[in-house]
Chain A
Amino acid sequence: MTAYIVRRLLWMVLVLFGVAAITFVIAFLVPGDPARLYAGTNASPAAVKIIHHQLGLDRPLWTQFGDYMWRVLHLDFGFSYRYQTPVLPAILQRFPATAELALAGVFFELIIGLPIGILSAIRPGSFWDRATMVFTFVALAAPPFWLGLLFLFVFGVVLPVLPIGGYGGGAPQYLLLPALTLGLGGAAYYARLLRASLLDILKSDYVRTAWAKGLTERQVIQKHAIPNALTVIVSQLGMDLGYFLAGVVVIETVFAWPGIGKQAVDAIFTLDIPLVMGTVLFGALLIVTANVVVDISYTFLDPRVRYS
């Protein structure tokens, strides 16, 4: 197990290096001069040229990349052109808001998705099953941008019982709508995933054996079926959490939630290369870490899984 973890950690380093290299190249392939956007569109070509030099953009690409990676090894992610501030503090300053939203989003995914999935699988073809499957279709199809604005309008304007977006220091009334919007799509996906997984498991030999032993439905479902079906959910959950923590752009934009996702998009549009690099690396680190944690958690959820 230890050897496995060490191996995965080494892979993480390689993956992050690859992500950094690819992002760096892409950032320079995108048309546009970061110095022009930094300076302002009316700035003279002479000013842009000087700024280009001051930002070090006139050096060979490999030199810039080498310098960047060397600084990253010393936890120096550079200076944001857009925000005129060091990159790492800029990311860390916004990360708590994103983390809060991500965790709340996952909470809604689970609290809505799991009961629906289980109840639908227990009574396939029933009214409940059909009704919830319609819900999952709608929730999966609804674009988060539209859903978010709809929630804001209904709960913020028509009723009005909740604030119209904003962070409010992370207070629950501000968190509820963005977290629900974030969680609904995932909840629908989880419901369908769990339903399909449970239906398979309920037809398996060991479940039939459990029935034959005379266990109650509750015992069969709780002790034999659900634990096995959950491995699929855990795998997806790890991915989701990593993805959410890396920034949920649309939700943050609609709800004026000051997380790293919106910051990343702004950085892309302004060609703020240090901030783009920093955010991508930070996000990649979270996603890769989440994957490793999920893989390791399999060994606890399923005794048959062993890493050597």
Chain B
Amino acid sequence: MKRVNTAAMAVLGVGTILLSACGNSVSNTEGQPVSGGTLLVSFKDDLKTLDPAIGYDTDSWSFERAIYNGLLDYKGFTTQLQPDIAASMPVIATDGKTYTFKLRKDVKFSNGRGVTADDFKYSWERMLDPKTAGPMTGGSFWGGIHGAQDFFNGAATQISGIKVVDPYTLEVDLDTPNQSFLNIVAMPFGFVIPKEAVASAGSDYAHKPVGTGAFVLDKWTPGQLIVVKKNPTYYGTKPYLDEIDAQIGVTPEVGYLRMQNNQMDIPQPDLTIPSAQYISLSANPSYKNRILKTPNVDIWYLAMNMNMKPFDNKLVRQAFEYVVNKANQIKILNGRGVVNNGIQAPPMPGYVPNYNPLGLDANGQNIQKAKDLLTQAGYSASHPFPAQDLVYAKASADSDRLAASIQQDFQQVGVTLNLKGLAFNAFLDITGKPNSTALSYNGWIQDFPDPSDFIDPILTCAAANVTANGGNVAFYCDKNADKLADQARGDTNSAERLKLYQQFQDFIVTQDFPWVPMYSTVETNVAAPRVHGYQLHPVWPFVATSIWVTGSAPSAAPVSASASP
């Protein structure tokens, strides 16, 4: 998912390819786990919601992951799916369109009632109901369920493709095969909630969640504090922690200051460490070896709007592929990134390490080739390339520097870029409309770790054929590429499917050039010395179930007792 405002922060993350080999470089899992204790974390902003049908940001997902469960989840700290509330992985019909899930019979909501297949049908239909006004309504990932479109437009009162076979068997029919459906099921939008809790809370369910997860919400004082406690009825492996206290409204500057003063365990656990704090912590002997790193499943790129001059000229787009000094971008991010010349990201299935079909140098450039291509495109000293606006979101302290570096790169080939930094909402608005922005600096962060998420929402004709709020900001539309994407989405042979996605990547990178792919970032986080078992997950923004704490709680943890006004 592209993180609101925090897309900004994601720009800050980075590392080297070695990191994907050595995982999270965990330095604080030593010793035997100890049960009990309270973990103190901080968040800059208050949570939007704890309703899994609504939340679509890393803060909300951090808590939803602790409170709810779905049919499937990721195994440990990997991108491999495994059953969660499902008793086993689903049976998939040979046509790839019908999924049959058997449910565990020992799962209970925190209100004490057992979970059945009816609850999933209710939760999913509520999540997709236009009246709920959640982000998955109207189509998107779940729109391929048979009967969903009728449900969206009011022609049906329920989704015919979601069938309760018996209390512990759920069948889902898709209109067309979609191999990423299992990843979709594992998204927080697929979490199960009890109907009676929604009925009881009414429009305030966002603040009164009832789930099946390892923790239950104990207290939420808006703008100040969120407390979750261990769920005694949780069916899975019990977490070590008794409680997590999240202080709200704490900026990263203050959060990291508190951590170094033993007043905080983990500041802003769902976002990478901001550059200023990363530099400071890296120089601090007590913390430099405690910084955890893991590759973010993201890609940062320049998008060239193929419907607008001069980028309707393929030679121009091709020339731009050779100009950006990608290594410099990573230097600006304090080394927390890896050059990425493709459209897939580590550690996603299908990612090809060291992918470089254009033969770029170590910096990701070939300046002479770029000049030659611009000459072929008809540009010369007497007919200079028209100055372009480089539109970017002023979302972090690094945004201006990253854009300025690209501006300098293009001066080498005689192209003038005018930097146009915008607030995030304005950036989304202007880049999402057709014929509005010719050149923009973008990032895409996973919804789930599957190549389809890096193609369907941002590089298909369906995503380009919009009047506003589009994700395909290059407005790239090629029928042959679309066919490849359709074929790959439905291919039930995993190895063959990945080959098709690689063909798609080649298509983009070597033939049509809608993007200049630049880099993928590395997430960095750090915890106080008393925190153990803390690991970064490749999908979830924050996982607390592996954490245990030793020693006394941070000295500024009086929040439970005194936070209420």
Known contacts A93-B222, A254-B251; A269/B5 CB under 8 A:
yes
- Asked if B91 lies at the interface with its beta carbon under 8 angstroms from chain A, I say no
Contacts of A216 in B (CB 8 A): none
Cα-based distance from A263 to B45 in the complex (angstroms): 9
Q: Of the candidates B48, B223, B467, B470, which one forms a contact with A258 in the assembled complex, judged by CB atoms under 8 Å apart?
A: B223
Kindly supply a per-residue 1/0 record for chain B positions 56-86, scoring 1 wherever the CB is within 8 Å of any chain A CB and 0 otherwise. 1100000000000000000000000000000
Chain A residues positioned under 8 Å from B425 (CB to CB): 30-33, 36-37, 269-271
- Establish whether residues B254 and A256, one from each chain, have CB atoms under 8 Å apart when the complex forms: yes
User: Does B305 have its Cβ within 8 Å of any Cβ on chain A?
Assistant: no
Q: Quick check: is A153 within 8 A (CB to CB) of the other chain?
A: yes
B138, B251, B422 pick with most chain A CB within 10 angstroms: B138
Shortest Cβ distance from residue B163 to the other chain A in the assembled complex, whole angstroms:
24
Residue of B45, B429, B466 touching A33 (CB-CB under 8 A):
B429
Q: Could you jot down 22 A-B contacts, CB within 8 Å?
A: A33-B428, A41-B3, A41-B7, A42-B135, A42-B471, A44-B135, A50-B130, A53-B130, A54-B133, A84-B54, A84-B203, A94-B223, A149-B253, A153-B257, A157-B260, A163-B263, A164-B257, A166-B247, A168-B558, A255-B254, A258-B224, A262-B223
| B426–A31 touching, CB < 8 Å | yes
- A45-B466 CB under 8 A given contacts A36-B428, A258-B224: yes
| Cβ–Cβ < 8 Å partners of A39 in chain B | 56, 134-135
User: Could you tell me if A40 and B57 are in contact, using CB atoms closer than 8 angstroms?
Assistant: yes
A35 to B133, CA, bound (A): 10
- A73-105 contacts to B (CB < 8 Å): 79, 82-85, 90, 93-94, 96-97
Q: How far is the CA of A171 from the CA of B51 in the complex (A)?
A: 33
Flag if A32 contacts B46 (CB, 8 Å): no
Contact of A169 with B2 in the complex, beta carbons under 8 Å: no
B366 interfacial by beta-carbon distance below 8 Å = no
- Most chain A C-beta atoms within 10 Å of own C-beta, residue among B54, B57, B261, B561: B261
Contacting residues, chain B, for A160 (C-beta < 8 A): 261
User: Counting CB contacts under 8 A, is B369 at the interface?
Assistant: no
Residue A49 lies at the interface, judged by CB distance under 8 Å to chain B? yes
Q: Of B140, B258, B430, which is within 8 A of A46 by CB?
A: B140
Closest chain-B Cβ to A145's Cβ sits at a distance in Å of 10
CB distance from A290 to the nearest CB of B (A): 22
A41 to B399, CA, bound (A): 18
B46-A83 in contact (CB<8A): yes
* B140, A169: Cβ atoms closer than 8 Å: no
Distance of A107 from chain B, by nearest CB (Å): 19
What CA separation (Å) do A191 and B430 show in the bound complex?
48
Q: A40-B57, A42-B447, A42-B471 are in contact. Are A97 and B565 (CB under 8 A)?
A: yes
Contact A85 B247 (CB under 8 A): no
B191-221 vs A, CB cutoff 8 Å, 1 = contact: the mask equals 0000000000001101100000000000000
Known interface pairs A32-B426, A40-B57, A163-B263; A48-B469 also in contact (CB < 8 Å): yes
Which residues of A lie under 8 Å from residue B133 when comparing CB positions?
38, 50-51, 54-55
**A51 adjacent to B1 (CB under 8 Å):** no
- 8 A Cβ contacts from B159-192 to A: none
Task: Determine the distance from Cα of A38 to Cα of B425 in the docked complex, in whole angstroms.
Answer: 11
Q: Are A164 and B223 in contact, CB atoms less than 8 angstroms apart?
A: no
A-B CB contacts (within 8 Å), total count: 192
Q: In the bound complex, how far is the Cα of B260 from the Cα of A263, in angstroms?
A: 27
Contact in complex: B139, A46 (CB < 8 Å):
yes
Kindly state the separation between the CA atoms of A93 and B139 in the bound complex, as whole angstroms.
37
Closest 7 CB pairs of A and B: A40-B56, A32-B425, A46-B138, A169-B562, A258-B223, A43-B135, A84-B206
B-chain residues with CB within 8 Å of residue A50 when the two chains form the complex: 130, 133, 137-138, 152
How far apart are the CA atoms of A269 and B46 in the complex, in Å? 13
Beyond known contacts A36-B429, A43-B136, A94-B222: 9 more, CB 8 A cutoff = A30-B425, A36-B469, A41-B7, A42-B2, A44-B457, A46-B152, A94-B223, A254-B251, A256-B251
User: Are B254's CB and A164's CB within 8 A?
Assistant: yes
| Cβ-closest chain A residue relative to B471 | A42
Give residues of chain A (246-262) contacting chain B, Cβ–Cβ below 8 Å.
Answer: 252-258, 262
A252 contacts which chain B residues (CB < 8 A)?
249
- Please judge, given known A-B contacts A84-B206, A85-B207, whether A167 and B224 are in contact too, CB under 8 Å: yes
Does the CB pair A156–B257 fall under 8 Å?
yes
Interface residues on B, range: 35 or more
Interface residues of A (CB under 8 A from B): 30-33, 35-51, 53-55, 79, 82-85, 90, 93-94, 96-97, 149, 152-153, 156-157, 160, 163-171, 252-258, 262-263, 266, 269-271
B1 CB contacts on chain A under 8 angstroms:
40-42
List B residues 521-545 near A (Cβ within 8 Å).
none
Contacts of A93 in B (CB 8 A): 222-223, 565
Instruction: Decide if the interface of chain B is mainly helix, strand, loop or mixed.
Output: loop
- A83 engages B222 (CB within 8 Å): yes
Instruction: Choose one: A51, A53, A84, A165; the contact of B250 (CB below 8 Å).
Output: A165
Is B34 an interface residue, CB under 8 A from the partner?
no
Contacts of A85 in B (CB 8 A): 204, 206-207, 222
A43 to B466, CA, bound (A): 13
Tell me if B138 and A32 are in contact (CB < 8 A). Answer: no
Q: Which of A37, A165, A171 has the most CB of B within 10 A?
A: A165
Q: Per-residue CB proximity of B397-429 to A under 8 Å, as 1/0?
A: 000000000000000000000000011111011
Q: Which residues of A contact B139 (CB under 8 A)?
A: 44, 46-47
CA distance A257 to B250 in the complex (A): 8
What residue in chain A is nearest B555 (Cβ atoms)?
A: A163
Chain B positions within 8 Å of A256 at CB level: 247-251, 254
* Contact across chains for A40 and B222 when beta carbons are under 8 A apart: no
Decide: B222 and A54 in contact? CB cutoff 8 A: no
The residue on A at minimum CB distance from B153 is A50
A residues in contact with B254, CB < 8 Å: 152, 164-165, 254-256
Q: Does B131 contact A (CB under 8 A)?
A: yes
Which one of B249, B263, B558, B563 contacts A257 once the chains associate, using CB atoms below 8 Å? Answer: B249
Q: Which one of A41, A90, A270 has the highest number of Cβ atoms from chain B below 10 Å of its Cβ?
A: A41
Interface centre among A46, A47, A55 (most CB of B within 10 A): A47
Q: How far is the CA of A146 from the CA of B250 in the complex (A)?
A: 16
CB within 8 Å of A: which of B103-141?
130-131, 133-140
Q: How far is the CA of A263 from the CA of B466 in the complex (A)?
A: 33
On chain A, the residues within 8 Å of B49 by CB distance are 84
Q: Are B140 and A164 in contact (CB under 8 A)?
A: no
Determine how close the nearest CB of chain B comes to the CB of A178; give it in whole angstroms. 12
Give the residues in chain B near A33, CB-CB below 8 Å: 425, 428-429, 468-469
> Which residues from B are CB-within-8-Å of A171?
562
Instruction: For residue B476, give the distance in angstroms from its CB to the closest CB of chain A.
Output: 16
Closest chain A residue, CB of each to CB of B472: A45
Q: Verify B46–A45 contact, CB threshold 8 A.
A: no
Residue numbers in B under 8 Å from A262 (CB-CB): 223, 249
Contact between chains at B250 and A169 (CB < 8 Å): no
Alpha-carbon separation in the docked complex, A164 to B261 (Å) = 9
Could you say which residues of chain B place their CB within 8 Å of the CB of A152?
Answer: 254, 257
CB of B564 within 8 A of chain A?
A: yes
**Contact (Cβ within 8 A) B261 A269:** no
> With a CB–CB cut-off of 8 A, which chain B residues contact A51?
133, 135, 137
User: Cα distance A111–B2 when bound, in Å?
Assistant: 49
Q: Is B432 among interface residues, defined by CB-CB distance under 8 A?
A: yes
